């Protein structure tokens, strides 16, 4: 038995070594780097919490954080709503519905950079598709990326482009809802809206919970399209853009690492709050069945 135990340790040793070497060690170094003044070329100089104190006085940091929070607060609920609506519309057995499902899911698998360049053209003030359509109906062209007030709506519009990715998970959840629940609701005289509210949404709540967590993480880490497209008035300068600039443009790696840790704490706090609230609105059928069995045995 002792030999078998050591054999087990030998099998998992590569994973353990890799975990400490490529996960734990970088985290410890990043924790130290966040308290240093380091330009990546010279030896780090320990400055304690000075980087964190400086960030609280940095107007560009506060602006980037506000832009990111504002974007996530709107784009995440909007994306969830759009994905659910599309999934409900596609949850039918009409001929050719699979083609519509494929077409709506395709944007989620297209290469990110190509999509960002496409949107940059679509939003272009002089040659963009949207302004071309506006001019055809006699409306003035808009500076979607050159007017600060229109930059955030432009990014929110772009965020709905990937609603098809979330649609797929909601569609799977819809098809997993037992038909007898809808039949029971119909017998009780429930309307279509009531069935959606009291049957569909509760049964979809685990999928909504998952997409909410992933949406929060993705929204707070927005980078790719903002890096390529940009935006006037620093309205397109999201948190990760400013972090990237500090690290690889200004070579303030210690400062950028401190920003990364702050972002980690913010995402962790939001995730924990979401998990904490899940007991009030996420419905797990297995847990309900288990509690019913326990009550039945008690009787």
pLDDT in tens, the chain (299 residues): 667 777 888 888 999 999 999 999 999 999 999 999 999 889 999 999 999 999 999 999 999 999 999 999 999 999 999 999 999 988 888 888 888 888 888 877 787 788 899 999 999 998 899 999 999 999 999 999 999 999 999 999 998 887 888 888 999 899 889 889 999 999 989 998 999 999 999 999 999 999 999 999 999 999 999 999 988 888 999 999 999 999 999 999 999 999 999 999 999 999 999 999 999 999 887 654 554 454 455 55
Q: What is the CATH number of the domain that holds 203?
A: 1.10.3720.10
Instruction: Scan for tokens 């005289």, then name that residue.
Output: 189
- Domain count across the chain: 1
Host H or E run for residue 42: none
Whether this model's pTM surpasses 0.85: yes
Is 25 part of a structural domain of the chain? Answer: no
Would you put residue 80 in left (φ > 0), alpha (ψ -120 to 50) or beta?
A: alpha
Is 298 part of a structural domain of the chain? Answer: no
- The dihedral through the CA atoms of 259, 262, 264, 267 has a sign that is negative
The domain in which residue 138 lies consists of 44-287
- CA pair distance 207, 221, nearest whole angstrom: 21
The DSSP output letter for 93 is -
Is 169 part of a structural domain of the chain? Answer: yes
Three-class SS state of 223:
coil
pLDDT of residue 297: 57
Is 17 part of a structural domain of the chain? Answer: no
Is 11 part of a structural domain of the chain? Answer: no
Is 203 part of a structural domain of the chain? Answer: yes
Is 15 part of a structural domain of the chain? Answer: no
Q: Where are the beta strands (DSSP E) in 99-179?
A: none
The DSSP output letter for 37 is E
Please say whether the beta carbons of 100 and 90 come within 8 A. yes
Is 123 part of a structural domain of the chain? Answer: yes
């Amino acid at each position: 038995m002792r030999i078998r135990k050591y054999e087990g340790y030998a099998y998992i040793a590569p994973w353990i070594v890799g975990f400490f070497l490529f996960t734990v060690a970088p985290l410890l170094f990043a924790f130290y780097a966040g308290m240093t003044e380091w330009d990546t070329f010279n030896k780090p100089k320990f400055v304690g919490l000075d980087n964190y104190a400086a960030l609280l006085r940095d107007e560009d940091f506060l602006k980037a954080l506000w832009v990111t929070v504002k974007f996530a607060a709107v784009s995440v609920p909007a994306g969830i709503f759009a994905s659910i609506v599309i999934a409900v519309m596609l949850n039918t057995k009409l001929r050719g519905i699979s083609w519509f499902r494929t077409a709506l899911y395709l944007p989620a698998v297209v290469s990110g950079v190509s999509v960002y360049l496409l949107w940059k053209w679509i939003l272009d003030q002089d040659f963009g598709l949207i302004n071309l359509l506006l001019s055809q109906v006699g409306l003035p062209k808009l500076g979607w990326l050159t007017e600060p007030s229109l930059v955030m709506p432009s990014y929110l519009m772009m965020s709905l482009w990937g609603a098809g990715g979330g649609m797929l998970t909601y569609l799977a959840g819809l098809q997993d809802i037992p038909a007898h629940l809808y039949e029971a609701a119909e017998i009780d005289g429930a309307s279509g809206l009531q069935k959606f509210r009291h049957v569909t949404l509760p049964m979809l709540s685990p999928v909504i919970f998952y997409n909410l967590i992933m949406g929060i993480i993705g929204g707070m880490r927005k980078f790719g399209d903002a890096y390529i497209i940009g935006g006037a008035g620093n309205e397109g300068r999201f948190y990760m853009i400013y972090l990237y600039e500090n690290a690889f443009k200004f070579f303030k790696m210690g400062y950028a690492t401190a920003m990364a840790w702050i972002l980690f704490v913010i995402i962790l706090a939001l995730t924990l709050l979401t998990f904490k609230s899940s007991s009030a609105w996420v419905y797990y059928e297995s847990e309900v069945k288990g509690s019913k069995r326990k009550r039945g045995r008690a009787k």
